[in-house]
Chain A
Amino acid sequence: MKVGLVRHRVMAAMLCAAVMAGAPAAPAEEPSPEQLRRELEAMKRQLQQLQEQIKKQETVINKLSAEHKAAAAAPQPAAPEKAGTTSTDEERLKKEVTENIMRRIQPSLTAANKTFPSQFNPAIGLIVDTVASYTDKQRGNFEMRSAEVGLSASVDPFARAYAILNGTQDSFEVEEAAIVTTSLPYNLALQGGRFFADFGRLSKFHDHDLPFVNRPVVLDEYVDGESQADGVQGSWLVPIGQYLTLTAGMYNKIGADNERVSNVVSRDLSEFTYLGRAATFFSLTDANSIDLGLSLAGTPQVAFEEAEPRYLGGLDLTYRWIPLGASGYHGFIWGTEVLVNSENRPVGGFPVDSDVAAEQRLAGELAAPIASPVANRTPYQPTTLEQEQQVAAPLVFQRKNAVGLYSYAEYRFTRQLSAGFLFDWAESINPGVGDTFAYSPYLTLWASEFQRFRLQYTRFEAPGDHENQFFLQWTVIIGSHVHSFRDR
């Protein structure tokens, strides 16, 4: 439009010039006055028309110029005339948009930053585990088995720490409180504090994480509950293509309910417990696999048992079938652990509250009354004349090599439902005491990943204790929950 107008103006000016210049260049023949007058009139009309046209064009130009000025004054990006200008405008536009967005979200950012100091707080979770039980002898009971608070956070770039604080019906204890390194070289990891020693498989599980309601008899009697230990433990992921970890540890003792040694009394190096373990994994197919572990724990001298050594060995084997396309929905697991315990024990076991025990407790060699041969179950009571004489008489110690095992198989039908069967067999660690058997079918129902119900029946066969036991377990998790490699 603009170019067209200029062109018209130029043409008009040229025409005028031609008209003006044409006047003196009149033909040589002299025209009549009348002819000259007519030509002059015609030229006047043409000139008037041209002048009118120029006026019109000037009006249009002025109007357009005014619009152009107004547009330039407005805060809009200029028309894309040159590539450089366009790029600059785009950058400016981007900056403006960014600033606008930042202005809008700044209040939210400020609000979020107010909570910043608390962001260093550890992740916190709580697990509530309740069990309703009915047994032939002890009848019914509701047990708030544990309310377990878990705390976990990084310490610094080199370590993390966690604690499991456990409240039960009658006590509160620090079940675990440990530091774990995260960046040692050579595939090493070090753990210190109170934690579950790397012995076997299920002895490292908290009660609520077990696949069944109760801890297997052999773990209760040989390991004394969870493999809780105060000490230090190092492990090495062997740098080969095959998964292989080697663990070594030194602890006051192993076993949450182990009362051979007190955690609060110092001892010679020969009275610590030392552990070695090797664990590996074989992937048979995408869906089938086997975990295999071998553990050996030794205490060179157990002061409480005539300063004789104690050895505890274990072989754990876990077979899994987890179809990749239905993991979480279907699967089968078969887990077995065989344990061997070798130590000097009194014939018939330690009597409850014997004079010997009382004296030893006073001497600081025992922290609490001696547990029964089968922890958490019926206290040992002499039932025959012979046993009564043994209780009254000085304890006679004998070395006993005891063997025990558990084996369970569990099938997952859906994400919500699984069923299994647990078999227990354990020779008593005490000479002169018979074996214990238990048979436990169980059914687990998951309302969600964080809420679980379990129904279990156990036929329990121990010396002097034959009974039917029924359990209903209800377990929930709130707060932070991490799927740990240890509990797999």
Chain B
Amino acid sequence: MKRMLLTLVTVAILLPCGWAAGADKIKVVATIPDLAEMTRRVGGDLVDVTSLSTGVENIHYVPMKPSFAVTLNHADVLVLLGLEAEHGFLPALLEAARNPRILRDAPGYIEASKYVVPIEVPTRIDRALGDLHPMGNPHINLDPVLAKDMARAIADGLAASYPEHEAEFQKNLTTYLATLDQDIARWEREAAPLKGKKFVSYHPDFNYFAERFGMEMAGTIEIRPGVDPTPSHVTELEEQMRKEKVDVVIREVSYPAALAETVAQATGAKLVELPTMVGGVPEAKDYASFIEYTIRTLLKATGSAPG
């Protein structure tokens, strides 16, 4: 008994000492790996970043683990997508985390969507329209041009909390934006054949990507966002896809495979499985490879890949 007590006391004393080793860095928690990477690029050596999700999850169904409350409890800054993307798990975790520094409206609460003009802002809020996001489609991380706005929001948010490091954040931001600009120019060239290609996805995840690269979204397998399809919806969707000659069915990796396969087979469209975040597939190991993987997979599916 005495030994057990001694062990517990030792652990209780040593654990905080372990954190003290990285205490000089700004502890940032990001909700998704994409934001974690952007924060690392902007924060440089000043930040120590953890992501709550690994990338394979559905952003709307990230499991609410109590260990996340501990992670959030230690955070100086929280970086999230915003637009209610994380409504399924983050508000409850923030309450459990008991960290006023990162509560909504606190300086440490950084919404990466701050400078983004969202698309598909509903003109009517009604659950008959599905699990709507009242502020618009939140899947902004799939548009690399919006990634620039997200990085700016992160830099400004960090600078608001740590004005003494503002110059470094801005310098890092400039470097990152320059890299992104080069990548975007290349991606726009590579993705040019995708222009006008029609697709159906399981959930409205790829709408920003489609707008950026000129693809046309023909519908979703879900009858409404967050609501599984009825048989009649699937039938109507398949008819519409045949009529409009839809090229691709996108099955996001966190959505079921069977129905997407059925729809693709029934309509002759190519089925592709795509991540919606960095880390969603092994090839998407960082933001650049995530976008590249998405473009190349779609090029291949639409028969537009360079030989």
Contacts and interface: CB of A to CB of B under 8 A. Distances in A.
Interface of A: 182-184, 187-189, 237, 239-243, 280-281, 283, 286, 289, 291, 320, 322, 324-329, 414-416, 448-450, 478, 482-485, 488
B58 A485 contact: no
B93 A485 contact: yes
A484 B12 CA distance: 29
Interface string B45-76: 00000000110111011111111011001000
A484 B92 contact: yes
B67 A243 contact: yes
A328 B61 contact: yes
A233 B152 CA distance: 43
Nearest to A417: B228
Contacts of A448: 127, 130-131, 226-228
Counting chain A CB atoms within 10 Å of each CB, the highest count among B67, B98, B253 belongs to B98
B88 interface: yes
A449 B66 contact: no
Nearest to A236: B98
Contacts of B228: 414-416, 448
Interface in B70-88: 70, 73, 87-88
Given A243-B67, A327-B58, A329-B256, A449 B93 contact: no
B66 A291 contact: yes
Contacts of B19: 241
B73 A241 contact: no
Contacts of B69: 237, 243, 485
Contact of A325 (B95, B100, B254): B254
A102 B70 CA distance: 44
A414 to B, nearest CB: 7
Counting chain B CB atoms within 10 Å of each CB, the highest count among A187, A326, A416 belongs to A326
Contact of B253 (A241, A283, A325, A414): A325
Contacts of B61: 327-328
A328 to B, nearest CB: 3
Contacts of A289: 65
A239 B67 contact: no
A289 B18 CA distance: 24
Interface residues of B, number: 44
B65 to A, nearest CB: 6
Contacts of A485: 64, 69, 92-93, 95-96
B70 A241 contact: yes
Given A239-B73, A325-B253, A183 B100 contact: yes
Contacts of A320: 63
A281 B69 CA distance: 11
A232 B103 CA distance: 24
B16 A239 contact: yes
A345 to B, nearest CB: 34
Given A239-B73, A243-B69, A325 B56 contact: yes
9 contacts: A183-B103, A237-B73, A241-B19, A243-B67, A286-B54, A322-B63, A324-B56, A326-B256, A488-B64
B253 to A, nearest CB: 6
B15 interface: yes
B98 A189 contact: yes
A241 B69 CA distance: 10
Contacts, number: 98
Given A328-B61, A415-B228, A488 B92 contact: yes
B12 A281 contact: no
A188 B99 CA distance: 10
Nearest to B62: A327
B91 interface: yes
Given A415-B228, A449-B131, A328 B58 contact: yes
Contacts of A482: 91-92
A479 to B, nearest CB: 9
B226 A449 contact: yes
Interchain residue pairs A-B with the least CB separation, the first 6 = A328-B61, A281-B66, A485-B92, A325-B56, A243-B66, A183-B100
Contact of A328 (B12, B15, B60, B130): B60
B62 A187 contact: no
B67 A283 contact: yes
A239 B54 CA distance: 24
Contacts of B57: 324-325, 327
B72 to A, nearest CB: 10
A258 B271 CA distance: 58
B89 interface: yes
Contacts of B16: 239-240
Contact of B103 (A182, A240, A241): A182
Interface string B122-138: 00000100110000000
Contacts of A189: 98
Interface in B6-52: 11-12, 15-16, 18-19
A292 to B, nearest CB: 11
A357 B84 CA distance: 54
Contacts of B62: 327
Nearest to B69: A243
Nearest to A282: B67
Contacts of A478: 127
A281 B73 contact: no
Nearest to A189: B98
Contacts of B253: 325
Contacts of A187: 73, 98
A353 B96 CA distance: 45
Counting chain B CB atoms within 10 Å of each CB, the highest count among A329, A482, A484, A485 belongs to A485
Contacts of B256: 326, 329, 414-415
Contacts of A483: 64, 87-89, 91-92
A117 B135 CA distance: 20
Contacts of B226: 448-449
Nearest to B253: A325
Nearest to A242: B70
